[in-house]
Amino acid sequence: FGVRTRNRLQGKVAEMENFAGHLEEIFLTVEENFGRREQHLEQHYNDVLQTLSQRYEDRAAGLEEEKKNKLEALYRQLLACGQALDASKELIETAQEIYRSQDKRLFLKVREFAKEETDLTLSTPLEFNTPLADLSDVKTLMDSINVVPAPSAPVINPQMPNSATQTSLRVCWSLFSDDSVEYYELYYRPVHDKVCAWFTVTKVKVKETHCKVTDLLPNAQYELWVTATNTTGISPASEKALYMTVPSPPVIKQRECTSCPEAALIRWESGNTNPIDSYTVELSEVETDGTESHLTESIVAVPTCQCLIQLQPGRCYVISVRAVNVGGPSNRSEVITVSTTGTFFHLLGETAHPCLSISEDGFTMFYGDEELPISAMAFDANAFTRCVAVLGDLIPVRGKHYWEVEVDDGTEFRIGVSYEDTERSSYLGANNTSWCMRHILTPTRHKYEFLHKGWSPDLRITVNPVRIGVALDYDKGTLSFFNVDLKQHLHTFHCHFQNYVHPCFGLDNPGALTVHNGIAAPE
């Protein structure tokens, strides 16, 4: 519990450090965006001022030119008026002299000349007709200053739990400011072995700040990023985020599952290439009419591909497994039915001597007549090398266990229990890590030994048992053997088993041996 808590805290610390780094990058992005907007605004205002200055200079020069033309026209008219005035004065003086000379004809001639009209209207209007400057382009520039700025980079959110299926992801993002956004574009591509391969980038255009991406691979990582667009332009891309689709269902390994009246050990394989955060084991009881109960018990946060489940004796359960990652839980696996009537296990083929064959159902072992040379034997690292033997699967529950073994009269055998690390090059019962009942055929009789450390008490069994019951009681520290057909007790070892033991089975001559388990121990 302490390790899981520490790992969880370390994960939180790493997540907070990553988020702090992401915030720092966002601050830098905001600073860069501000610098660009400030430079853009300054350029706009400089353009407006330069345009206004140019318009002012053009209009001022036009007014100055019109003023000059008006003054020149007025000056010319003023000169003309002065000349007309001087001529009029001379005409008056001439008329006076003629009048005094009493020459009427000359006077009449002057009179006719005086009838000429002088133009006394202004040659130029006083108003200035220079039109106002066309400032429409300046207005356009002014309006452009008030255009909505391009959005800043969106922030894509970390993946939320239960936000995925096997083939889809629900992605969310947000903005740090009140940016105006017309639409978003979400980009994504699969990631292989935490290194981006040259996969095609897919783009999705959406209006909202969330999107459901479909048609994806199960238990696959995807790299995603997003941009925001409005009428002014496109934002920088967000930081890339990794999302995962949920895993494929696990596959329960039925041959490696064991059970007893009080518990069951369920083993499975993931079948997923990416890491799985945990597993959830679900179990429900089978009713007496054979239907599955609606009440389902879940064991969550199982870290490995096996789980020891405490059960009630004499019941039948349906058990399944789900794999869980950050995206959510997978669909449930194919179910396995577990009965707690008795102890149930299979023979472990990887521990079998090369001369042994194990039946398909995992309960019968065969030792053929043909002897294989040592050079032709392929020994597994965990297999017996001297004793022609095999182990049954481990029963990792302390309490009472019972199983039965069926043999032929002509078969020499060893049956009992041993520790997992019992010496593979030794015979069962010949060391201090195994306890067994041995059958030996002699020319005169059947001999039975109950061996531990190579020693056996002197016992004589008169009736040859063909079905032997084996009872293991961890609490009492006993291992007992019975003739099932006669309900006869044969022998009991008394030992404090420090570790869990495996059922073990050996054949000392060609023959067969069958294990019957999952049965209730007789009273």
pLDDT at 224: 95
For residue 508, give the DSSP letter.
S
Residue 184 C-beta-side C-alpha neighbours within 13 Å: 26
Asked if 170 and 300 sit in the same domain, the reply is no
Q: What is the model's pTM?
A: 0.66
CA angle, residues 305, 307, 308, in degrees to nearest 5: 155
pLDDT at 184: 95
In three-state secondary structure terms, 87 is helix
C-beta of residue 306 within 8 angstroms of C-beta of residue 265: yes
In DSSP notation, 24-56 reads HHHHHHHHHHHHHHHHHHHHHHHHHHHHHHHHH
pLDDT at 186: 96
Asked if 17 and 97 sit in the same domain, the reply is yes
Domain boundary among 296, 318, 339: 339
Domain boundary among 195, 221, 244: 244
Q: Is residue 117 part of a domain?
A: yes
In three-state secondary structure terms, 123 is coil
CA angle, residues 367, 373, 374, in degrees to nearest 5: 100
pLDDT at 295: 82
For residue 101, give the DSSP letter.
T
Q: Which helix (H) or strand (E) holds 7?
A: helix 2-100
Total number of domains constituting the chain? 4
Asked if 327 and 376 sit in the same domain, the reply is no
CA angle, residues 335, 337, 343, in degrees to nearest 5: 140
How many CB atoms neighbour CB 175 within 10 A? 18
CA angle, residues 146, 149, 153, in degrees to nearest 5: 170
Residue 79 C-beta-side C-alpha neighbours within 13 Å: 5
Asked if 370 and 449 sit in the same domain, the reply is yes
Residues in the chain: 523
Backbone angles phi, psi at 387, to 5 degrees: -75, 130
Asked if 130 and 31 sit in the same domain, the reply is yes
Asked if 97 and 45 sit in the same domain, the reply is yes
In three-state secondary structure terms, 201 is coil
Alpha carbon of 191 to those of 223, 373, 386, 400, 422: distances in Å? 6, 52, 50, 51, 46
Q: Residue 312: is it exposed, middle or buried by C-beta count within 10 angstroms (0-12/13-18/19+)? A: exposed
Q: What's the rounded Cα separation, in Å, for the pair 50 and 56?
A: 10
Backbone angles phi, psi at 22, to 5 degrees: -65, -40
Q: What's the rounded Cα separation, in Å, for the pair 292 and 314?
A: 16
Q: What angle, 0 to 180 degrees and rounded to 10, lies between the N-to-C axes of helices 136-145 and 2-100? A: 160
Q: Which residues of the chain have pLDDT under 70?
A: 1-5, 7-8, 11, 18, 21-22, 25-26, 29-30, 32-33, 36-37, 102-147, 193-199, 370-379
Please give the radius of gyration of the chain, using alpha carbons only, rounded to the nearest integer. 53
Three-class HEC string of 392-437: ECCCCCCCEEEEEEEECCCCCEEEEEEECCCCCCCCCCCCCCEEEE
Asked if 363 and 512 sit in the same domain, the reply is yes
Torsion-angle region of 208 (φ positive above 0: left; ψ -120 to 50: alpha; else: beta): beta
Q: Is residue 473 part of a domain?
A: yes
* Assigned token pair, 3: 């390790």
Q: What's the rounded Cα separation, in Å, for the pair 264 and 394?
A: 11
Q: What angle, 0 to 180 degrees and rounded to 10, lies between the N-to-C axes of helices 2-100 and 104-114? A: 170
For residue 155, how far is the Cα from the chain centroid? 17
Q: Is residue 437 part of a domain?
A: yes
Asked if 305 and 369 sit in the same domain, the reply is no
Asked if 490 and 456 sit in the same domain, the reply is yes
Q: Is residue 68 part of a domain?
A: yes
CATH of the domain at 509: 2.60.120.920
Residue 431 C-beta-side C-alpha neighbours within 13 Å: 14
Asked if 266 and 414 sit in the same domain, the reply is no
pLDDT at 319: 96
Q: What's the rounded Cα separation, in Å, for the pair 343 and 313?
A: 11
Q: What's the rounded Cα separation, in Å, for the pair 239 and 224?
A: 9
Which structural domain, as residue segments, surrounds residue 293? 251-339
pLDDT at 246: 94
Report which of 363, 310, 381, 314 is spatially closest to residue 341, judged by C-alpha positions. Answer: 314
Q: Is residue 376 part of a domain?
A: yes
Strand partners, 191: 221
Torsion-angle region of 501 (φ positive above 0: left; ψ -120 to 50: alpha; else: beta): beta
pLDDT at 322: 96
C-beta of residue 512 within 8 angstroms of C-beta of residue 408: yes
Q: Is residue 83 part of a domain?
A: yes
Asked if 137 and 19 sit in the same domain, the reply is yes
